[in-house]
Structure 1
Amino acid sequence: MRAAFACDPAQSRGREFPVEQSLARGPRSAFQRDRDRVVHSIAFRRLRHKTQVFVAPDGDHYRVRLTHSLEVAQIGRVIARALGLDEDLTEALCLAHDIGHPPFGHAGEEALDHALERFGGFDHNAHCLRVLMRLESPYCEHEGLNLTWEMLEGLAKHNGPVGVVPWALAELDAAYPLELTQWGSLESQVAALADDIAYDNHDIDDGLRAGFLELDELLTLDFVADQWRAIERKFPGAPQERRLRELVRSQIGLMVNDLIGETAVRAKGMASAAEVRGAGQATAAFSTGMAENERRLKAFMYARLYHHPQQLHTAERARAVTAELYAAYAQDPALMDAGWQASLPGQEPQRSRHIADFIAGMTDRYAIAAHAKIYGRTPEGLRNV
């Protein structure tokens, strides 16, 4: 049953470029088409080789942007179904939310932001919209994937209403207004929190596997320790590795159930998706207690994993590689792929932004290979697992 406050594909505000119905392929809703367009895109496939926590990991068991996005989508669908939201829109938002990340994750983003400082900077969330609306163009009729308004506004407001609007998002919003000062749909809010739930807990799994986190340190968080003690009582003879994976599942379940319960209370009585957008505050949320636990968990993960000395060293090397790629292409655009050379604008800021678009589309391994080709050596210090 669709809730009154859910987005309805039959009532979608449409797409930037009108499409003839005769061109529609298969019995799919507008939001199902959005999901399929994302899944079939080159940009989505590239997430297979983009950093999640660890840069270009040698181990096959560590998460990358693609596996993370799939896990976010699974969590998002569960929450959407429980709340009566549109599952297809929620899933599509979850799958697409990280498409704007350059190689090497936030380290690569920082390097591109610095390189483009005079030209408006670089923001991965705005770049996600730029990729989907302009750069990924497989259709004969128009630029971009031509996703629905609801899909695009949800991605634009992944972190809530947009205060300071980056140049890329400003250009796109001018062409196709997305009401950036309002909250997004409940589907978009759920997708954003599903992202938090996924990386809060799956990064624990990867951090423990890599030896960057120790269980004893993790258990200094009382709410995690409570879950662990319950698991020890329930599975006293189980191998440690299995109990650790049970801990991750238990944490996810706890957060999902809390989010569903709190959001259902906040959304009670809302009669439309428009009411969600105009509420003036988030409708999807954790309870006060869980929000505090989640904040403490994030702080722990930053201190012990994301800002681990080895991670910081690798991130610095990744920033340097990205910056050196940008410098090389800015000095000699002939080093870029032929198609990118041919379409290079002659004026600024378009020229520099075009070079950043090229680099942002790279996977970790492509960026490493490109750097080695230009500088004659494979960059060192980019792998720590």
Structure 2
Amino acid sequence: MTDLAPYACHADRSRGRLHPEAGGETRGPRDTYQRDRDRIVHSIAFRRLRHKTQVFVSPDGDHYRVRLTHSLEVAQIGRTIARALGLNEDLTEALCLAHDIGHPPFGHAGEDALEAALEAHGGFDHNAHTLRTLMLLESPYPRFAGLNLSWDMLEGLAKHNGPVLHPGWAMREVDALFPMQLDSWPSLEAQVAAIADDIAYDNHDIDDGLRAGLLTLDQLLDVPMVADCWSRVRARYPDLPAEKLLRELVREQIGMMVTDLLDHSRATIAAAGVGSVDDVRQAGGPLIGLSPALAARERDLKRFMYAALYHHPSQLAAASAARVVVTGLFAAYQADPCLMPPEWVAGSRADEPARSRHIADFIAGMTDRYAQKCHAEIFGDAAASA
């Protein structure tokens, strides 16, 4: 990739992979980060995101977002930002595509249930489980475990929300395997992936909430940022009915947030005087972000979304049912590990915490519908749909 800024990640300066590769393992004219991206896209864990909750559990409608489509939308926003800032688009895209791979079925409800089930055994964190999945569990290659992604990719996934000062057991385990300097800031590409995630779900969850009838335009217009964007949209299309402009509202908000982020980040990068990716890691704070004024408005939007959508009574009921499924599966496999598929039974351990963590690895990899199917087989259909 040409025309990269000096503070971008350069593939030819990558810190390499845990397991050296040469010869037949390097296929085609791709650099390190392009191969990282392709390994994510071709992974089973990435394909499973097709049936994992974004906002709605196992949505009936074909047009609702799931983790897979959300990750693709994050990658689109991330690449746009990276290109504008002179950052490495391929690494940014790979980070965006992989950022949710560690999510268990049913999104945050499933994570809460696994966290409770593993309380005595170190807990569960979806971000650390992303690293665990990519470095240990998904193993398509004959000579080593994991996808053998580059250090730069793994570091970005581990720290995309900032330094990890109190890593849990899963993060400590993968960091011991391939140390990622957890106490420093991540690359700008990783910072872009984190904010692209926020921009995507802030706005696309509005789209899905409106589609589902759980949000109304009148409710949204109580949020100042939304009201301002709606005013601009109505000014451009004064003769069109409101229902024709709802998706234009979402596009307006995304464009406004990306423009603000680029302006603010350029100024922050220039003020920091960074000249390399190592300077970025030692900068002492994030260099990619929204302006303080827009960040405050974005927090107001998030508060609204939690109150109106994520904590909507129908969503809370779905989350409760999801926790029943995950909690029940964990208890069943604890009582009889032979209920798991043979390849997972073969890897079972009798000692704790390895036994419980192995069970959690199996459940975390499930899709929503597979978890529901397994629960129904063990407990009956009525229990699974309770």
Smaller-chain TM-score bracket: over 0.9
- Separation in structure 1 between the aligned mates of residue 160 and residue 308 of structure 2, nearest angstrom: 26
1:224 to 220, 223, 226: 226
2:48 to 40, 46, 49: 46
CA drift of 1:174 comes to: 0.8
- Separation in structure 1 between the aligned mates of residue 266 and residue 159 of structure 2, nearest angstrom: 21
The amino acid across from 2:267 in the alignment is V
CA contact 2:372–2:384 (8 Å) conserved in 1: no
CA contact 1:369–1:378 (8 Å) conserved in 2: no
Match of 1:348 in 2: 352
The amino acid across from 1:14 in the alignment is G
- Separation in structure 2 between the aligned mates of residue 239 and residue 66 of structure 1, nearest angstrom: 32
Point out where structure 2 has 5 or more consecutive residues left out of the alignment: none
2:302 to 293, 298, 301: 298
- Separation in structure 2 between the aligned mates of residue 367 and residue 302 of structure 1, nearest angstrom: 26
- Separation in structure 2 between the aligned mates of residue 252 and residue 381 of structure 1, nearest angstrom: 36
Match of 1:318 in 2: 322
The secondary structure found in structure 2 opposite 1:345 is: coil
CA drift of 1:21 comes to: 4.1
Match of 1:196 in 2: 198
- Separation in structure 2 between the aligned mates of residue 326 and residue 375 of structure 1, nearest angstrom: 12
CA drift of 1:240 comes to: 3.0
Match of 1:143 in 2: 145
Match of 1:285 in 2: 289
The runs of at least 4 aligned residues of structure 1 exceeding 3 Å deviation read 378-382
CA contact 1:368–1:378 (8 Å) conserved in 2: no
Match of 1:167 in 2: 169
The secondary structure found in structure 1 opposite 2:381 is: coil
CA deviations over 1:218-274 (Å, ceiling 9, x no partner): 101122111112211211233433300000000000001111111111112321000
- Separation in structure 2 between the aligned mates of residue 32 and residue 122 of structure 1, nearest angstrom: 30
The secondary structure found in structure 2 opposite 1:283 is: coil
CA deviations over 1:35-70 (Å, ceiling 9, x no partner): 000000000000000000011110111000000000
Match of 1:275 in 2: 279
- Separation in structure 2 between the aligned mates of residue 111 and residue 256 of structure 1, nearest angstrom: 35
The secondary structure found in structure 2 opposite 1:57 is: coil
CA drift of 1:379 comes to: 4.1
Q: TM-score, normalised by structure 2?
A: 0.97
Give RMSD over aligned pairs: 1.1
CA drift of 1:373 comes to: 0.4
Are 2:9 and 1:20 aligned? Answer: no
Are 2:371 and 1:367 aligned? Answer: yes
Are 2:343 and 1:332 aligned? Answer: no
Match of 1:124 in 2: 126
- Separation in structure 2 between the aligned mates of residue 294 and residue 9 of structure 1, nearest angstrom: 34
CA contact 1:314–1:381 (8 Å) conserved in 2: no
Match of 1:94 in 2: 96
Match of 1:134 in 2: 136
- Separation in structure 2 between the aligned mates of residue 105 and residue 375 of structure 1, nearest angstrom: 22
CA deviations over 1:116-144 (Å, ceiling 9, x no partner): 11110000000000000000000011110
CA contact 1:368–1:379 (8 Å) conserved in 2: no
CA contact 1:258–1:287 (8 Å) conserved in 2: yes
Match of 2:68 in 1: 66
The secondary structure found in structure 2 opposite 1:346 is: coil
**Equivalent residues in 2 for 1:251-270, closer than 5 Å:** 251-268=253-270, 269-270=273-274
When the two structures are aligned, how many residues end up with a matched partner? 382
Identity in percent: 64
The secondary structure found in structure 1 opposite 2:362 is: helix
CA drift of 1:158 comes to: 2.2
CA contact 2:376–2:384 (8 Å) conserved in 1: no
CA drift of 1:73 comes to: 0.1
Are 2:85 and 1:83 aligned? Answer: yes
